[in-house]
A and B are shown apart, each in its own frame.
Chain A
């Protein structure tokens, strides 16, 4: 069943070194000298950068070196004998260090024999246990050696070496500054004995320093820089090939000049040009030199550019993955869709295809799809013959003929249609509900549409969020997606032991307004709401007959509920009375459903919201399963927002109207607080304040002030909420748990309260005061960030500034927190990703190691648990008793 661990091999280590000229020549299949790619007939020139011996890229052509075709030929290196040595630009820093740390005459490290021996021994020891530390240690040794101005070995005087990025070196001699040519640098590096290199933490076996100055340049195989043939038949060479041609041309000229005995000035010019070409072939973004450009002015993309950055080989090609059969666009809401559906634009449906096998039963339908072709919507884009041949319907002249030729066994790649299963995803994909399966609903316009109830699991909103869609291509993949990943299968989250899909915002407000005591609906409205709930029976007996038939909102909910459903629980609007009167609650805050009838209690957050355990919704899901649960969410929940539409729910400034008397009282309250704080400060100054145990006097004073201020805000809040009854929309939303809370309302109508930084009153800023608007040493409420104003009346300038300070701290905190927790989560997920629960209930790794002998020690699926507990004994007893009684 599992692959045995004993059979696997592990990589012991990887060693990096520098290619020596000998090795470069040994690796090479041929020397490259001619700066031309093809002759007049288009045949690659032998000895040029496209030499056939460097490997083959044309299909059907055997490689001249290994005899393989394209698929098997690995490509072969060539080499260029440089007319003059040049600095390898990526090693110039190391060269700089070595030039300064060693003697310019004898090549020894500029340290005494004892010091060298010591350093060498320590570097060797470090290598055994902390190989990375060896290099750091080597740097420190070099730093020490650089300080010596005379050689301890031959007493030669050392000059200062100046390095000019990216590859020029000067020596500051007494006579003046002299440029060091690569030949001279190479000579010096050659003189450094292996023994001394080891003291610097270097490994002379795999990296002799003179190899950092190139005399031979490897020519990468053609498979690394393939020719691209454009649709027009024009051939286009890779940037590296272009670079090689330039380099070879200069190399040839330099060679000729040297052989002809041209003036030193001419040779030096060509030499530095060669250096430039070699440098830019490795990295075309070196500091201090202009990047090599194409004729069009576009900078060349050479070796370093291919590897570096987001689009580079590592991050872009190796760590990144792209897929076919996918689409991405902006999402927008559609409450009329089922939670299991996703709205897909026609334009997308025309491009994404599903392979469908032609059978005797569907052949006529498939023929019709083929006739309609790729551009007419429901059509088809491709036909796959049983022999594997593909017919692109875009280029078929007579689609009728092709359609007639269809036979069972053919595969039609038809357009996406209503009912197809697709995977829908929103990044960051942090939990399994970030990718769920939906049924397609093809719709006009250009956005993906989703039901509002699935915003929670995706954490989506509609301020420009984009989402991805993937079309599974095999029957197995579709079956798996449908049974494991369909939205309804994810309603119960393993995270809370509560539904993650459920009412939020307007759903909660609507549910409350519909089911509260005074809601009565006439026949027209009652019918409309039941229609939205997809109810298909007759209307129940109206609760009121005179002056006409009226139904209560609770009646409508009961109509939709199953006849054997029971539930009891406190609503969110509960006033937390000392003794709960339960079903007799005067505020209608105790919900009772008996035998499918909503008897008392208004529905709100505690009954229908997501991420709350043991709600009416949760119990319904546990009792009737997710299939019916999804219908419940599609049907009843729709009536909640439709009712909100009928009701005409809106919030305006009048929602925050507070009588003048209340405002006066609030002002009295704040004045009193100001006085109290002043008294406290006075007492502290006079020494009349007793320090709290374990605290300084300042701390104590601060604490007492905070107490006074927070008490003041609470009082103001109480005052405000006394005037803010359920008649106000803002209060309805806060009390039902739809959005915001009473504190937010207090801040809007009464006082904003204390603004804080790092959990303390604001105290940083100018010397002795936060802002220049206050007196020095003022530690009163106003000077330390207490905001007396409310949002409705508006803040004073200083108050606004304090508020902005606290607000910014909040933003910075969230930014930092998300970055940190994101990284932590990634590491955790990577460590846990191949654990699975085996059929015997144990948790194992993909290599068969046991992690837990029983999942979670009790083997309970948290999604099916009762808020983490395997069973809720109390509830079971209640249910059994109810059954007996009824």
Chain B
């Protein structure tokens, strides 16, 4: 059983994920007027979170292609699990 490591972040079907810096995420939270917990969540064990090296408490920005809007931006709060 040979396991070949592939970088899922480069896969065509995986939208672009960007790990935000602390300053960036604070700016985002201020803009949206929410606390981190009130963002949608992603598990730290999610393959994409692992690939980015995200730790619980981080915020990930997701830029995906949208049939309605062209490009759509969303954010995920990384939680334990």
Cβ-defined contact, B68 with A857, below 8 A: yes
A4 near B: Cβ within 8 Å?
A: yes
From A848, A851, A858, A860, contact of B40 by CB (8 A): A851
Interface 1/0s, chain A 827-866, versus B by CB < 8 A? 0000000000000101000011111111011111000000
Cβ-defined contact, A5 with B37, below 8 A: yes
Give the CA-CA distance A231 to B38 in the complex, in Å: 57
A767 to nearest B CB, angstroms?
A: 55
- Interfacial residues of chain B within 42-77, with CB under 8 A of chain A in the complex: 66, 68-69, 72-75
A1 near B: Cβ within 8 Å?
A: yes
B1 near A: Cβ within 8 Å?
A: no
Cβ-defined contact, A849 with B38, below 8 A: yes
B39 near A: Cβ within 8 Å?
A: yes
Give the CA-CA distance A851 to B37 in the complex, in Å: 12
From A5, A851, A853, A860, contact of B75 by CB (8 A): A853
Interface 1/0s, chain A 1-45, versus B by CB < 8 A? 110111000000000000000000000000000000000000000
CB-based nearest A residue for B73: A853
CB-based nearest A residue for B71: A857
Cβ-defined contact, B32 with A840, below 8 A: yes
- Interfacial residues of chain A within 814-833, with CB under 8 A of chain B in the complex: none
- Interfacial residues of chain A within 83-138, with CB under 8 A of chain B in the complex: none
B21 near A: Cβ within 8 Å?
A: no
A828 to nearest B CB, angstroms?
A: 19
Cβ-defined contact, A850 with B32, below 8 A: yes
Give the CA-CA distance A1 to B35 in the complex, in Å: 12
CB-based nearest A residue for B64: A857
Cβ-defined contact, B68 with A856, below 8 A: yes
Cβ-defined contact, B66 with A858, below 8 A: yes
Q: A849-B38, A850-B38, A851-B40 are in contact. Are A1 and B33 (CB under 8 A)?
A: yes
Cβ-defined contact, B34 with A853, below 8 A: no
B contact residues around A847 at 8 Å (CB): 38
A contact residues around B69 at 8 Å (CB): 854, 856-859
User: How many chain A residues have a CB neighbour from B under 8 Å?
Assistant: 21
A874 to nearest B CB, angstroms?
A: 18
A861 to nearest B CB, angstroms?
A: 12
Give the CA-CA distance A5 to B37 in the complex, in Å: 9
From B34, B68, B72, contact of A850 by CB (8 A): B34
Main secondary structure of the interface of A (DSSP, over half): loop
Interface 1/0s, chain A 464-497, versus B by CB < 8 A? 0000000000000000000000000000000000
- Interfacial residues of chain B within 4-51, with CB under 8 A of chain A in the complex: 32-35, 37-40
Give the CA-CA distance A583 to B72 in the complex, in Å: 43
Cβ-defined contact, B68 with A860, below 8 A: yes
Cβ-defined contact, A853 with B74, below 8 A: yes
Cβ-defined contact, A854 with B72, below 8 A: yes
B contact residues around A849 at 8 Å (CB): 34, 38-40
CB-based nearest B residue for A847: B38
A608 to nearest B CB, angstroms?
A: 29
A contact residues around B32 at 8 Å (CB): 840, 842, 850, 853
Cβ-defined contact, A857 with B39, below 8 A: no
B24 to nearest A CB, angstroms?
A: 15
A831 to nearest B CB, angstroms?
A: 15
Cβ-defined contact, A848 with B34, below 8 A: yes
Give the CA-CA distance A2 to B75 in the complex, in Å: 20
CB-based nearest A residue for B75: A853
B contact residues around A870 at 8 Å (CB): 68
CB-based nearest B residue for A868: B68
B41 to nearest A CB, angstroms?
A: 10
B contact residues around A854 at 8 Å (CB): 69, 72
Give the CA-CA distance A859 to B39 in the complex, in Å: 18
A686 to nearest B CB, angstroms?
A: 54
Give the CA-CA distance A847 to B33 in the complex, in Å: 12
B75 to nearest A CB, angstroms?
A: 7
Give the CA-CA distance A848 to B66 in the complex, in Å: 25
B23 to nearest A CB, angstroms?
A: 19
A contact residues around B74 at 8 Å (CB): 852-853
Give the CA-CA distance A870 to B67 in the complex, in Å: 12
Give the CA-CA distance A851 to B34 in the complex, in Å: 12
A171 to nearest B CB, angstroms?
A: 57
Give the CA-CA distance A2 to B37 in the complex, in Å: 13
Give the CA-CA distance A847 to B37 in the complex, in Å: 11
Give the CA-CA distance A848 to B35 in the complex, in Å: 9
From A840, A848, A853, A860, contact of B38 by CB (8 A): A848
Give the CA-CA distance A840 to B66 in the complex, in Å: 20
A865 to nearest B CB, angstroms?
A: 10
B contact residues around A859 at 8 Å (CB): 69
Give the most central of A1, A842, A853: most B CB within 10 Å.
A853
Cβ-defined contact, A4 with B68, below 8 A: no
B40 to nearest A CB, angstroms?
A: 6
Give the CA-CA distance A858 to B67 in the complex, in Å: 9
Contacts A854-B72, A858-B68 aside, 6 further interface pairs with beta carbons under 8 A come to A2-B34, A6-B37, A848-B38, A849-B40, A853-B73, A854-B69
Which residues of B pack against A, CB within 8 Å?
Answer: 32-35, 37-40, 66, 68-69, 72-75
Interchain residue pairs with CB less than 8 A apart (28)? A1-B33, A2-B38, A4-B35, A6-B35, A6-B37, A842-B32, A848-B34, A848-B38, A849-B38, A849-B40, A850-B34, A850-B40, A850-B75, A851-B40, A852-B74, A853-B32, A853-B72, A853-B73, A853-B74, A853-B75, A854-B72, A856-B69, A857-B66, A857-B69, A857-B72, A858-B69, A859-B69, A860-B68
Q: Which 8 A-B pairs have the closest CB atoms?
A: A858-B69, A857-B72, A858-B68, A857-B69, A857-B66, A849-B38, A848-B38, A857-B68
